[in-house]
């Protein structure tokens, strides 16, 4: 307890570095101190698909290649969702300046190809202090490496002097000859090799002010993969030792990580598993979990819909489909689909019988399979309005209507034809819809008469939707038919008056289908004047008064 108290006093709050790097546009770059790593996120729109980072210290700038990253404690992950590249640096990464295990300073260069030229942006002197004190043992299961660090005072037998460890310290010198490392696989102990040889094989050993750090990329020949309660696990077990006269110093360094890729279940949960007993003789599981590098305590996570359970000696973390911090993406594969991506961050705190703590952190990217994401079209036509109303609904937020084909004729959206209307309807559940209105008499609408004085209006709609940002196309078809049964010709009421005949026509909704002519001339007020008829027309009825000896004819024509 005393140990915790000391560190607790020295505890500093995590610093948020302000991105104020010259030449990088605002909002493109984010730098954050997390509890156990420093993070840089840069928009892919700025970096392009292949950004290059360099880690910088007083000895030079080191290109962070895949192999170098895994050995040196860097992890570069391109996240097409939400469209950025993320560099995470362990506090014990190779080029990081470490002050008493409390203040860590990071220097990077970002190389971006702009207009065919490589431009270097320095991201310098970002300092972080871990917000949580170091536990006696810490294990990190990064996406590309495993790292274990132990408090060196705990592992030092009493009486050993600091000097005895110092030969491990200089990462680049060759004075580490007296330290040997012995790897242990599942069933055999490999012969010892010296530390410099181990480094050549991709391992990292580091002695800081108070901690001994060991790092291994995944898939090393000396590590081993097993299944524990049905969960795939990768383990690396190194024992380092040094003979100093008659004393042998020996430290056991084990990192074991669940390699589970997650399982999506029908109820909408993404489940990730890790064996309960990854490390022998540890107990008292405390779990903090979250997405995107943010951790919350188990009860808080459960309030947010997570389910943390144990089954078969396995810890199961079930993330709800709509958990905050998850990413959703639409995809076209013949049909329209969607999938979810979760950047899981999990911390397990375990204690042994002497209440010495081990913290295990796992960073994993989990993705659901493609899930159907059906959109629908609904016929909302009201005959009395004389127009089609068709609603296209459940369109995901990253999908847009680009065009409609109406009976084969293409109209791009936004529409330039004033007789057609498309309105976008946005819903709070992150879907939207489009309401399309097409008047029955629009030239694009097909009309079909049947023998029974009925008229069919036909509209075949082919919606062209684009999935952003790739602009993949998806088509949705819908045919609507409106049947107008009573389309008989308009009937005039003819009444004989003293001066002649008066024709009266009460307007009906479908009279516009008919043309009224005098002989073969279309009836207009001018034509009526010419013939000397009196015509009055309002929204209700048409009245035509014809003095005797004149006649009007109503002729039936198909529009
Ligand atoms: C970054 O750019 C500098 C200057 O053009 C170049 O010397 C260096 O090799 C580049 N580093 C990487 C990792 O591409
Ligand atoms: C480590 O061992 C190799 C042979 O296994 C030897 O050649 C090399 O000199 C040793 N390095 C040091 C620093 O002792
Ligand atoms: C428990 O593990 C065993 C062996 O891996 C497996 O056969 C069994 O189905 C598991 N039970 C449950 C409930 O997951
Ligand atoms: C999916 O997982 C959750 C959480 O473990 C569970 O409650 C639910 O029953 C599972 N559903 C199916 C269909 O397996
Ligand atoms: C989204 O909300 C709209 C309007 O409330 C509803 O019609 C639609 O079915 C909802 N879609 C989904 C996928 O929940
Ligand atoms: C919809 O339009 C697209 C693009 O013009 C075309 O490839 C597709 O065949 C059309 N679908 C139907 C059913 O006409
Ligand atoms: C669409 O709606 C109209 C008007 O309610 C109706 O006459 C028609 O039968 C509906 N169905 C289709 C497939 O067009
Ligand atoms: C009479 O008025 C109606 C409705 O205002 C209109 O649709 C129709 O074309 C008019 N008829 C003539 C012959 O002007």
544-557 per-position pLDDT tens digit: 888 765 454 444 44
Query: pLDDT tier at 165 (50, 70, 90 boundaries)?
Result: low
Instruction: Read off the pLDDT of residues 455-473 as tens digits, 9 standing for 90 and up.
Output: 889 999 999 999 988 889 9
Digit-coded pLDDT (tens) for 349-365: 998 888 889 999 999 99
Question: What Å distances lie between residue 355 and 80, 135, 157, 331, CA to CA?
Answer: 42, 11, 19, 49
- Given this model, what pLDDT does residue 481 score? 93
Ligand 5, residues 374, 393, 399: which to mutate, most atoms within 8 A of Cβ? 393
Question: Distance from CA of residue 266 to its chain's centroid?
Answer: 20
pLDDT confidence bin for 173, thresholds 50/70/90: very low
| pLDDT range class, residue 375, cuts 50, 70, 90 | very high
Q: How confident is the model at residue 339 (pLDDT cuts 50, 70, 90)?
A: very high
Q: What is the pLDDT of residues 85-121, one digit of tens each?
A: 999 999 999 999 999 999 999 999 999 888 888 889 9
pLDDT band at 281 (very low <50, low <70, confident <90, very high): confident
Asked if the model's pLDDT at residue 175 lies above 60, the reply is no
* Distance in Å, CA 27 to ligand 1 centroid: 24
Per-residue confidence at 5, pLDDT binned at 50, 70, 90?
very low
Sorting pLDDT into bands at 50, 70 and 90, what band is 22? low
Query: Nearest ligand to the C-alpha of residue 427?
Result: 5
Mean pLDDT of the 311-319 span = 91
Q: Is the pLDDT of residue 436 over 70?
A: yes
Write down the pLDDT at residue 15: 35
pLDDT level of residue 166 (50, 70, 90 thresholds): low
User: Residue of the nearest CA to atom 1 in ligand 8?
Assistant: 537
d(CA 413, CA 376): 19
Are the C-beta atoms of residues 448 and 440 closer than 8 Å to each other? no
Per-residue pLDDT, 31: 93
- Answer yes or no: is pLDDT of 11 > 70: no
Ligand 6 pocket test target in 335, 392, 475, 476 with most atoms within 8 Å of CB: 475
In this structure, the dihedral spanned by the alpha carbons of residues 274, 276, 280 and 284, taken in order and rounded to 10 degrees, is 130
Q: Over range 203-211, report the average pLDDT.
A: 91
Instruction: Give the pair of three-digit tokens for residue 459.
Output: 């509209």
Q: Tell me the CA–centroid distance for residue 315 and ligand 4, in Å.
A: 14
Beta bridge partners of residue 123, listed in sequence order: 108
Domain ranges of the chain: 376-484, 493-556
Architecture of domain 376-484: Sandwich (2.60)
Q: Give the contacts of 549 (CB within 8 A, at least 6 positions apart).
A: 500
- What's the rounded mean pLDDT across residues 312-317? 90
Smallest CA-to-CA distance from 307 within 327, 291, 289 is with 289
What is the C-alpha to C-alpha distance for residues 211 and 205, in angstroms, rounded to an integer?
Answer: 11
- What CA–CA distance (Å, rounded) separates 239 from 256? 14
How confident is residue 486, by pLDDT bands cut at 50, 70 and 90?
A: low
Does ligand 1 lie within 6 Å of residue 118's CB atom?
A: yes
What was the pLDDT predicted at 360?
Answer: 94
Q: Which ligand is nearest to the CA of 180?
A: 2
Q: Across residues 179-202, what is the average pLDDT?
A: 91
**132: DSSP letter:** S
Mean pLDDT check: name the lowest of 5-19, 113-127, 443-457.
5-19
pLDDT value, residue 45 = 85
Beta strands in 453-499 (DSSP E): 455-467, 472-484, 493-496
């Amino acid at each position: 307890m005393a140990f915790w108290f000391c560190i607790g006093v020295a505890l500093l709050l995590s610093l948020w570095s302000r991105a104020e790097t010259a030449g990088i546009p605002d909002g493109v770059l984010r730098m954050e101190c997390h509890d156990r790593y420093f993070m840089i996120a840069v928009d892919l729109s700025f970096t392009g698909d292949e950004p290059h980072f360099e880690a910088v210290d007083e000895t030079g700038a080191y290109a962070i290649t895949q192999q170098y990253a895994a050995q040196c404690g860097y992890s570069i992950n391109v996240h097409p969702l939400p469209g950025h590249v993320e560099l995470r640096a362990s506090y014990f990464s190779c080029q990081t300046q470490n002050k008493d295990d409390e203040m860590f300073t990071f220097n990077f260069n970002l190389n971006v190809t702009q207009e065919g030229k490589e431009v270097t942006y320095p991201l310098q002197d970002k300092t972080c202090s871990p917000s949580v004190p170091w536990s006696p043992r810490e294990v990190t299961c990064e996406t590309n490496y495993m790292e274990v660090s132990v408090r060196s005072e705990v592992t030092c037998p009493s009486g050993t002097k600091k000097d005895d460890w110092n030969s491990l310290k200089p990462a680049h010198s060759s004075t580490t000859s007296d330290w040997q490392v012995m790897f242990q696989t599942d069933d055999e102990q490999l012969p010892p090799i010296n530390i410099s040889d181990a480094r050549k094989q991709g391992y990292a050993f580091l002695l800081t002010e108070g901690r001994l750090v060991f790092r291994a990329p995944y898939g090393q020949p000396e590590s081993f993969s097993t299944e524990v309660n049905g969960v795939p696990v990768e383990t690396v077990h190194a024992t380092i030792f040094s003979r100093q006269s008659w004393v042998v110093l020996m430290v056991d360094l084990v990192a074991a990580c669940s390699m589970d890729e997650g399982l999506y279940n029908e109820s909408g949960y993404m489940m990730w598993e890790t064996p309960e007993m990854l490390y022998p003789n540890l107990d008292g599981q405390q779990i903090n979990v979250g997405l995107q590098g943010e951790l919350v305590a188990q009860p808080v996570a459960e309030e947010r819909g997570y389910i943390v359970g144990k089954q078969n000696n396995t810890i199961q973390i079930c993330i709800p489909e709509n958990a905050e911090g998850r990413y959703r993406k639409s995809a076209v594969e013949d049909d329209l689909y969607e999938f979810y991506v979760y950047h899981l961050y999990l911390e397990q705190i375990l204690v042994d019988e002497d209440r010495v703590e081990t913290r295990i952190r796992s960073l994993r990217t989990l993705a659901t399979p493609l899930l159907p994401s059906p959109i629908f079209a609904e016929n909302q036509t009201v005959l009395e309005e004389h127009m089609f109303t068709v609603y296209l609904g459940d369109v995901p937020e990253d999908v847009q209507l680009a065009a409609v084909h109406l009976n084969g004729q293409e109209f791009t959206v936004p529409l330039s034809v004033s007789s057609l209307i498309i309105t976008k309807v946005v819903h709070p559940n992150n879907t939207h819809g489009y309401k399309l209105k097409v008047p029955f008499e629009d030239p694009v609408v097909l009309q079909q008469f049947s023998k029974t004085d009925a008229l069919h209006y036909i509209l075949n709609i082919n919606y062209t939707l684009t999935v952003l940002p790739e602009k993949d196309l998806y088509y949705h078809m819908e045919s609507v038919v409106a049947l107008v049964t009573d389309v008989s010709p308009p009937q005039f009421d003819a009444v004989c008056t003293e001066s002649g005949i008066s024709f009266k026509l009460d307007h009906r909704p479908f009279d516009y289908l008919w043309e009224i002519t005098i002989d073969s001339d279309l009836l207009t007020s001018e034509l009526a004047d010419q013939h000397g008829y009196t015509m009055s027309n309002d929204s209700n009825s048409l009245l035509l008064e014809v003095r005797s000896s004149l006649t009007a004819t109503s002729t039936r024509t198909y529009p």
